[in-house]
Structure 1
Amino acid sequence: MTTTMTAGRCNVREAAYAVFAHYGVDRLFGNPGSTELPMLKAMPFPYVMGLNEAVVMGMADGYARSTGRAALVNLHSSAGTGHSLGNLFTAWKNNAPVVVTAGQQARSILPHDPFLGAERPTEFPRPYVKFAIEPARAEDVPLALARAFAIALTPPMGPVFVSIPVDDWERECDMPALPSLSLRTFPDPAGIDAIASMLAGADNPALVIGTAAANAGAWDAAVALAEKAGLSVWAAPYAARETFPEDHPQFAGFINAWRDQIRDALDPHDAILVVGAPVFTYHVEGSGPHWPAHASLMALTDDPQHLSNLPGGGGVLGDIRAGLEQLAERLPARKFTGKTHQFIDPAPEMKAAYVLKRLSQLRPEDAVIVEESPTARHPVHVTLPIRREGGFYSCASGGLGYSLPGAIGVALGQSDKVIAILGDGAAMYTIQGLFTAMQEQANVSFCIMNNAAYAALTGFSSEFGMNHVPGCDLTGLDFAKLADAQGVPSRVVASVDELDGALEWSFAQEGPSLLDIRIA
């Protein structure tokens, strides 16, 4: 963070742009509305336009997570904010530092229930923001923005919301002083000692890593700790970022979000350290212990919510990367004796596993995967190893419509090829994001796994004793035509013979492209 404008008189817009510069903002994601127009006057950086506010929010989330900086989003009052709420919820679950400004009607007409006014603007996005405010005076807007950025970037990071009346931007104000902040909070050494004692005293210890570890930049620290201490490493349920090199011999696999399956997976271990994740994320009801009864458990995280409902064991709050580095210093060297996650070699047929295996083998070396294809998630795990830091992004909320625009944001935030693996149902939530991909020439290969159904729901229906789910047939969707209509080059892939050539063509593009992959 760099200091920009010094204290003095200016207008609210000038002060706001000084705040944005101080926090490294270099673009604005938005869909313009009437109450936001004065904010856009003399804007000093690019405007990234989305055709729907859900697209805008998803792009900002992807950009924030891939850069590690706060992303700035500008929305309209009630309707525009409402359109964004699904992906705002996802940004909350993703711990994405997104600063949302929303236009409000002029203060002088707010008592008259104006057209497009937001009656209770700070309540609308709650509880899925860390902070929400409509400043009482125009003069208070710059300080509210500065506070919003600081809160968004404080671990656990997350979205914040500032409602700004349209007539505030030209008002005079004092430029607030902007501090330089260091926001890492180191864990208590006594807590680290307790974790080290648990792991050192175990015969077969395990490390379970979640999304927050990636957000903390703990990839190298996790590898160093696991290799020194001989730990088996598991990905926590529904991890929305890369957790550990998945082709590493100490990577044990992915834990499912069912209590009995968690116990079964972790049963060989007598000590379990959960890092950057709850204990545990569940998808359905369960019973019995949350982990094997014979095992000791501790958690290390920067999120107090992970520890506040910890069902036993022990917890340590603080910076995850620092905690893992301190553990590696304290623990003695031990040889790894656990089991390694196994990948499969599927037969050549138009099914998800084979398509993903060929995608894995043909992808550029440093390609980044963005995934939102619920029925393909397991095939991804057994065919497509994530091998690099910053190499994987998904949706922690489970809501659809994030990853298509999220992939665009990731592509704008870093230079490597992005491959978006999307289900047909998921892609349709925010398909108009392809227009922004074309405008921005985002380097994304959109790979639509088109099975003509909401197949995740039909597959999950057995949990509730159902053999039929209405409203899941998506027959007839043509994603190549949808892409062509928005200026994105595309191909339909309907056979194994076409697959490799189509993937190579898409990966060779320097801008966006789309493959409509017809799978069984």
Structure 2
Amino acid sequence: MSGQPSSLRATAAADTARPTVRDAVLDLLRSFGMTTIFGNPGSTELALFLDFPDDFSYQLGLQEAVVVGMADGYAQATRKAAFVNLHSAAGVGNAMGAIFTAYKNATPLVISAGQQARSILPYDPFLSSSDPTHLAMPYVKYSVEPARAEDVPQAIARAYYMATQAPCGPVLVSIPSDDWNRPCDYLQPRTVSTTAWPQPEILAQVAEMLNHCERPAFVVGTGVDRDGAWNETVQLAERHNARVWIAPMSARCGFPGDHPLFAGYLPAERAKIVGSLGGHDAILVLGAPAFTYHIEGEGPHLPAGASLAQVIDDPAIAAWAPVGTAMVCGVRAGISALLQASSPPKRPAPPLRQKAPRAEPSSPMPVAYLLQTLDEVRAPDTVIVEESPSARPVMHRYMPIYQSETFYTMASGGLGYGLAATVGVALGMPGKRVIGLVGDGSSMYSIQALWNAVQLQLPITFIIINNQRYAALQEFAHTFGFKPGEHLQGSELPGLDFVALAKGHGCEALRVEDPALLADTLKSALQSKGPILVEVRVA
């Protein structure tokens, strides 16, 4: 140091007194309330954890898709953005399916991805990411590798604001490993609005449609519960005596399943949607696309003579809707405004939804009997995290959702969300009983999440619906020309022992095949203080 010019010595001394990028980022995360970090670290991330502060917690996942799935569930349960730390290109690659699901779920995640040191990036070093900003695209709202180390806190701040602006979603910041120890300045957090308000002229159009129709129907999607608009939706439906459907492939439930106006769940098929909504002359879609289809179809998107209006927080969804008026704004803000603006005439109540016939026990056990029994033994405020695609239509008939923020599933169609998100939701809702209702095939994408549940001793009851196959594929095969009973390659799952798998992760587990033992088994499992897995063999 003595051989350096005085100006350089002064600069070095000043840098020593300044905070590091690590100090500034941790301070920023603290101000945003993101003190829980979900990750699976590699060598390029280790510098973040030097002198790790006591007020932060690190939730280790055993695979990157589990990490992102846990963070997804946690962010939804807490209604806050979650911070994720992944390892360079390999870690982000492993997590991409879960990032895609978080994007479709509109979950606010700030993802930091490690990168090799800047000084060796020109030499294509081991474990570097050659194009980090495009790796996760297009399933992140924002992706950046800052030009300078000093810019990392600003990049994190921008990512956070973008992740939490409607429509919410994941963002990614690639951070070279040598950036964390570089000097920089603290960054002051800002207040940034996250909700847009409805335009008065469009609000007036939608209110007029509701006021002058005769037989209104509502289609309620994920955005209602996500935006805390459950109660306002019930009030609006009751004011208009509107039948209420849940939107196709909805990742949350936005209306009570035991309400007299509840009509059921729409399928993701054009002709069946039109048939279900037949007889209604005004359709109001709240917090959902109009509409999500799973298979190709032909014909109109609406029943003859019906008008459609949509309240959605995503302008991209509003743009591709083939029909109707779209009001782009915060979902709760839009519904609240409609409560103020609409004054309908008195209408007769629509017909009640027909109840499903009671499921009867048999051997092998029917899925309907399992879900009917689970509904009878659980408390109405129990939180359900579901990923059993073949059982979902049966669940819609036999296991109603009664309260807001008690149902979560994935909007992407990609498997692996269920077990990991169950852990994240339970972590974000301390003291709540959480049920992870997961199919045998789905569970194998993130079985490592059982370890997290054990380490955290969360009050989770995992129920594995084991039909020894990818049943959804087999049931869907007829769409592509398969004949009944014709063998479908790659859809059988014999020999999986979920009791052994759970115990291998330290989780208590048992199996039930006899319908006579089901109710007592489930009652006991729902009283466990820590996690327990119940494997149910079904037809």
**Fold match, TM over 0.5?**
yes
Matched, 1:338 2:350: yes
Matched, 1:486 2:505: yes
Cα distance in 2, alignment partners of residues 343 and 391 from structure 1: 22
Matched, 1:292 2:303: yes
Matched, 1:198 2:209: yes
Give the alignment of 1:383-422 within 5 angstroms. Answer: 383-415=398-430, 416-422=432-438
Q: Is the 8 A contact 1:60 1:73 kept in 2?
A: yes
The residue number in structure 1 matching 2:264 is 253
Q: Percent identity?
A: 47
Cα drift, residue 339 of structure 1: 2.8
Cα distance in 1, alignment partners of residues 151 and 97 from structure 2: 29
Q: 1:42 to 1:292 in 2, by over 3 A?
A: same
The residue number in structure 2 matching 1:58 is 69
Cα distance in 1, alignment partners of residues 314 and 529 from structure 2: 38
Q: Is the 8 A contact 2:301 2:323 kept in 1?
A: no
1:81 aligns to what SS in structure 2? helix
Matched, 1:460 2:476: yes
Matched, 1:309 2:325: no
Q: Is the 8 A contact 2:84 2:112 kept in 1?
A: yes
1:248 aligns to what SS in structure 2? coil
Number of residue pairs matched by the alignment: 513
Q: 1:177 to 1:26 in 2, by over 3 A?
A: closer
Cα drift, residue 276 of structure 1: 1.0
The residue number in structure 2 matching 1:472 is 491
Matched, 1:238 2:249: yes
Unaligned runs of 5+ in 2: 1-16
2:121 aligns to what SS in structure 1? helix
Q: Deviations over 1:446-492 (max 9, x none)?
A: 10000000011011000011132101111111100000011110110
Cα distance in 2, alignment partners of residues 328 and 459 from structure 1: 42
Cα distance in 1, alignment partners of residues 253 and 349 from structure 2: 24
Matched, 1:433 2:449: yes
The residue number in structure 2 matching 1:81 is 92
Give the alignment of 1:132-171 within 5 angstroms. Answer: 132-171=143-182
Cα drift, residue 511 of structure 1: 1.5
Cα drift, residue 109 of structure 1: 0.4
Matched, 1:448 2:458: no
Matched, 1:323 2:339: no
1:174 aligns to what SS in structure 2? coil
Cα drift, residue 336 of structure 1: 4.8
Q: Which structure has the larger Rg?
A: 2
Pick the aligned partner of 1:21 from 15, 30, 34. 30
Q: 1:342 to 1:63 in 2, by over 3 A?
A: farther
Q: Deviations over 1:264-308 (max 9, x none)?
A: 001120000111111110000001111112101111111101111
Cα distance in 1, alignment partners of residues 529 and 171 from structure 2: 34
Stretch of structure 1 that moved more, 319-328 or 106-115:
319-328
2:134 aligns to what SS in structure 1? coil
The residue number in structure 2 matching 1:514 is 533
Cα drift, residue 9 of structure 1: 3.7
TM-score relative to the length of structure 2: 0.94
Cα distance in 1, alignment partners of residues 101 and 413 from structure 2: 8
Cα distance in 2, alignment partners of residues 81 and 361 from structure 1: 42
The residue number in structure 2 matching 1:71 is 82
Pick the aligned partner of 2:120 from 109, 120, 123. 109
Q: Deviations over 1:248-271 (max 9, x none)?
A: 000111000000001000112000
Cα distance in 2, alignment partners of residues 195 and 126 from structure 1: 35
Q: Is the 8 A contact 1:50 1:436 kept in 2?
A: yes
Amino acid across the alignment from 1:493: V
Q: Is the 8 A contact 1:364 1:507 kept in 2?
A: no
Cα drift, residue 440 of structure 1: 1.2
Amino acid across the alignment from 1:73: V
2:59 aligns to what SS in structure 1? strand
Cα distance in 2, alignment partners of residues 42 and 248 from structure 1: 53
Q: Deviations over 1:351-372 (max 9, x none)?
A: 1100001101111332101110
TM-score relative to the length of structure 1: 0.97
Cα drift, residue 328 of structure 1: 1.5
Q: Is the 8 A contact 1:209 1:243 kept in 2?
A: yes
Amino acid across the alignment from 1:403: G
The residue number in structure 1 matching 2:224 is 213
The residue number in structure 2 matching 1:3 is none
Unaligned runs of 5+ in 1: 1-7
Cα distance in 1, alignment partners of residues 348 and 145 from structure 2: 55
Stretch of structure 1 that moved more, 467-476 or 373-382:
467-476
Amino acid across the alignment from 2:392: R
Cα drift, residue 18 of structure 1: 1.2
Q: Deviations over 1:209-245 (max 9, x none)?
A: 1111221111111011111111111100000012100
Matched, 1:175 2:191: no
Q: Is the 8 A contact 1:138 1:171 kept in 2?
A: yes
Q: Is the 8 A contact 1:231 1:336 kept in 2?
A: no
Amino acid across the alignment from 1:458: Q
The residue number in structure 2 matching 1:365 is 380
Q: Is the 8 A contact 1:227 1:336 kept in 2?
A: no
Q: 1:84 to 1:336 in 2, by over 3 A?
A: farther
Q: 1:90 to 1:233 in 2, by over 3 A?
A: same
The residue number in structure 2 matching 1:5 is none
Stretch of structure 1 that moved more, 461-470 or 150-159:
461-470
The residue number in structure 2 matching 1:374 is 389
Cα distance in 2, alignment partners of residues 43 and 504 from structure 1: 41
Cα distance in 1, alignment partners of residues 522 and 39 from structure 2: 32
Cα distance in 2, alignment partners of residues 453 and 69 from structure 1: 36
Amino acid across the alignment from 1:405: A
Q: 1:31 to 1:457 in 2, by over 3 A?
A: same
Q: 1:339 to 1:40 in 2, by over 3 A?
A: farther
Cα distance in 2, alignment partners of residues 189 and 403 from structure 1: 40
